Structure 1
Amino acid sequence: MPEGGFAAWSRDRLAVARRGAEECGDVWQLEPGVYVAAAAGPCEEVLRNAEEFPKAPSPLFPPLKRSSGAPTREERARAHAARMRGLRAHAVAARIGEIAPSAARFADQWPTGEDVEILPLVRQALADIGVHYLFSEDAPTLLPFASQLFLAREVLVRPSRWIVPRWIPTPARRFRTRQQVAFTNALRPVVRRRRSSGRLGDDLLGQMLRPTSRYGLLSEEAILDTLPGITVATFETPSRAAGWILLYLARHPRAADRVSAEAALLPADPAATTNTHLDSLQYTQALIREVLRLHPPSWLLTRRATRQTQLGGYTIDAGSTVLVCPYTAHRDAREHSEPDRFEPERWLDDSGSPAKPGAFLSFGTGPHGCEGVALAMAMLTLLTAQTARRYHFSEPSGPEPSFQVTTFEGLTTAGLRLRATVRS
């Protein structure tokens, strides 16, 4: 345990995480029953072993209480499989022409010549893209409810001095339930209309409405219960990532120029953008991966040991918490040369392949890895390319920082302000 222990952790979790990795090794103990996996190998081992280290069963939007009962575990698993039909890489690739126009619109509407707080703007743009990807023509109806779901999430995860049992109906939890009910009530007639008309749609909801030869139709409740979480996830984590990416475009103008040059080859009509165009943005994607290596939005992942096991020389007792730390794993010199250096080029050769175990954990890995990684990368790539194509970015001048780093729930550039000037 590094000096200061849990009290120091509470004050500056990033600094203690780095110090713990440097002083204590690949796995270290934060306090009795709490361990930190700080290097690529242990992180990969924990995340891939979902039986010994399962994800805590505490969904942000748990199934609503109904007289008919919540969907069974089997129904939830089937709903997840149906959802994945619309989120796999080939499904995202087929819809790039729908994502690109919204990214271009966001860039076109950026206020120029003034310091602007960017996260609300980015979040709204990514919500437009994400909700449209899920619900197509029904997105305008559902977008306001999705925004309220995000607000409920923000209220629920705010830091608190007190740990309140999950069964206690706090004001934040009651607010969450109200917004979840409102979203479900807005979505239910959409589901029923599509089913009754037979026009299921080609979006993610349409994929979930299609019967399979093995299981037939998903129940309406299984569909409704699985969608609030993924709706918020399509834009919440990517928004945090986009804040870091745009900050790096401001701080590294040569890299931004290279992204701009690459983006100049995109079609003049964004709707004509295809997955081939997306694949051609190799440096842009390398820049995004490098930013997310240095600042993974989900920088700390919680797992709980189901039985006594060994990890990094420690005996981990059943019930112990293991904090998986991509932030320190990504800054390990054994995995990345000059790990604190911003170097997008490291991802353009085979040695920096994100497929290398433990080399890139910003989207997690294993059974509980981010299911929307293909969609998130497409959204971030097109948003980055279109904004860099049009603007130079700079941080505000003056003694005050342009943002604060927050680490609770995710690594975020809270309050980030940037100024955009049109490229000549």
Structure 2
Amino acid sequence: MGPMQQPPRLPGGSFAAWSHDRLAVARRGAEECGDIWQLEPGVYVAASAGPCEDVLRRARDFPKASAPLFPPLKPSSTAPTSEERAHAHAARMRGLRSQAVAARIGEIAPGAARFADQWPTDQDVEVLPLVRHALAEIGLRYLFSEDAPALLPFAARLFLAREVLASPSRWVWPRWVPTPARRYRTRQQVAFTDALRPVIRRRRSPGPLGDDVLGQMLQPSPHYGLLPEEAALDTLPGITVATFEAPSRAAGWILLHLARYPQAADRVAAEAALLPADPAATTSEHLESLRYTQALVREVLRLHPPSWLLTRQARHRTQVAGYTIDAGSTVLVCPYTAHRDAREHPEPDRFRPERWLDEADSPATTGAFLSFGTGPHGCEGAALATAMLTLLTAQTARRHQLSEPPGPEPSHQVTTFVGLATAGLRLRATLRENAVPYPLG
């Protein structure tokens, strides 16, 4: 293999084949071509952990696509500068880092318990809308505390705008074309911003800023000073939707595995039985005690990473895994195949949460885990998402036994266009024996 050699081309690989079954083509490319392969000229797939991590960590060589989910509304003299956006990111992270999430577990747990207690029993239910609403309530309360209920309807419409824009389309219009979907996004972004602006101004009037993420953003920084209002408004639509969009996809897979692996669900329920009777009394120590539950969540995310494919662009000609990548090429980073590499995870297709536990009878492996990305653009909400999913899993298993609907029809369809999801997932919840509802007030 010479230093200027390009990655191998997948025989029969094309965008047509890729569009028909992305997961199958991704797996075939990894199996037949190895660590990195070429789908079509100028389009490469990083298929194993080494190249995936290399590309994600080299953000200068492989920048993230400059197409934010919610771009600035319009150029103006008050539009945030790049320095102000960096300030906003740093301010936002003060409320999203692991220590901040750990301090607020008691605010996350009640929403997860409420979801479990309100699940209709003994009937087939479409799960994802219920999950999305519950996680949106939890996520917005984490971001905005007592202001969350008023902002929730606007956040729901922001999510809908995201779904409309992400729907498969026959035509890819230039970014400057005001398509109906883009106009709808703009309207919802304006509505969310208009609802949030008075919240920011009220908090900045004499009185407490709050200890939620918004309050952290409004705290003056010793280095940057006060974050301009427009910089705060610019960054919040995207993070608001992100708090529940990918976690909802992950929760669908987790609940499906609770239904398909009842012994694992029983083990989760046994852990959850030790949680406080009042979910608001849940602490980070209680969360840490859910060791098997955390392992189950991690294992499901390994097998079904919600963001299973990440797009990067090569800024200049460079090398990855000994192959040459031309400038301007697209590199598709594939955590899905990286997680199913037997060199990283023995029996990679087997659902085995124990692989993440350090137990004498179950040797743990700490292979690659890229469900939250890595490097400069790794998921900033990873700690929050993990806490939300762990508590949702524990409290659902504590309350219910889940099952798939009987009959020949599948319980869901796998979709891959936006992320890896269980579209239309239907499950049935049966109340566990001796399950007692949480006192939710």
Which TM-score bucket, shorter chain as reference?
over 0.9
2:342 to 326, 333, 343: 333
Residue of structure 1 in register with 2:166 after alignment: 157
Cα distance in 2 for residues equivalent to 1:67 and 1:198: 30
Which structure 2 residues correspond to residues 22-421 of structure 1 after superposition, within 5 A?
22-349=31-358, 352=364, 359-421=368-430
For each residue in 1:107-144, what CA deviation from the matched residue of structure 2 results, as whole angstroms up to 9, or x when unmatched? 00000000000000000000000000000010011011
1:90 aligned partner, one-letter code: Q
Q: Which residue number in structure 1 is paired with residue 12 of structure 2?
A: 4
- CA-CA distance at 1:198 after TM superposition: 2.8
Distance 2:358 2:327 in 1: 41
1:353 shift after superposition: 5.9
Amino acid paired to 1:70: A
- The residue identity in structure 1 corresponding to 2:13 is G
CA-CA distance at 1:215 after TM superposition: 1.3
Amino acid corresponding to residue 2 of structure 1 in structure 2: L
CA deviations on 1:311-340 (whole Å, 9 max, x unpaired) are 123210110000000000000000000000
Structure 2 unmatched ranges of 5 or more: 1-8, 434-441
State the secondary structure of the residue aligned to 1:172: helix
Q: Work out the CA distance in 2 between the residues paired with 1:294 and 1:215.
A: 41
Supply the AA of the counterpart residue of 1:403: H
Letter in 2 for 1:14: L
Q: Which amino acid aligns with 1:191?
A: I
* 1:362 positional shift: 0.3
Shift of 1:66: 5.0
Question: Using the alignment, how far apart are the partners of 1:147 and 1:337 within structure 2?
Answer: 40
SS at match of 1:419: strand
Shift, 1:197, TM fit: 2.5
Aligned-partner Cα distance in 1 for 2:364–2:83: 39
Amino acid at match of 2:163: E
The separation in 1 between residues aligned to 2:319 and 2:102, in whole angstroms, is 41
Shift of 1:105: 0.6
CA displacement at 1:162 relative to structure 2: 1.2
Alpha-carbon separation, structure 2, partners of 1:98 and 1:330: 32
User: TM-score, normalised to structure 2's length?
Assistant: 0.94
Task: Give the CA deviation at 1:5.
Answer: 1.4
One-letter amino acid of the structure 2 residue matched with residue 117 of structure 1:
E
Distance in structure 2 (CA, Å) of the matches to 1:161 and 1:31 = 19
Identical residues among aligned pairs (%): 81
In structure 1, what residue type is equivalent to 2:152? L
Deviation at 1:199, TM superposition (A): 1.5
Question: What is the CA RMSD across the aligned residues, in angstroms?
Answer: 1.1
- The residue type equivalent to 2:357 in the other structure is L
- Is the CA contact 2:143–2:213 (under 8 Å) kept in the aligned structure 1? yes
Q: Which runs of 5+ in 1 are unaligned?
A: none
- Structure 1 residues 89, 353: CA separation in 2 closer, same or farther (over 3 Å shift)? farther
1:223 to partner: Cα distance: 0.2
Give 1:3's aligned amino acid.
Answer: P
SS of 1:310 mapped into structure 2: strand
* SS of equivalent residue, structure 1 residue 116: strand
Amino acid in the other structure paired with 2:239: I
Q: Which whole-Å CA distance do the structure 2 matches of 1:315 and 1:352 have between them? A: 35
Quote how far apart the aligned CAs of 1:70 are: 1.9
SS of the residue corresponding to residue 428 of structure 2 reads: strand
Once the two structures are superposed, what CA deviation does each residue of 1:58-89 show, in whole Å capped at 9, x if it has no partner? 00100111532421111000000000000000
SS at structure 2 position matched to 1:28: strand
Q: CA deviation at 1:4?
A: 2.7
* Contact 2:78-2:230 within 8 A present in 1 as well: no
Distance in 1 separating the partners of 2:264 and 2:345: 19
CA distance in 1, matches of 2:157, 2:357: 40
Cα distance in 2, alignment partners of residues 109 and 303 from structure 1:
41
Q: State the Cα distance separating 1:94 from its structure 2 match.
A: 0.5
2:24 to 11, 15, 20: 15
* SS, match of residue 70 in structure 2: coil
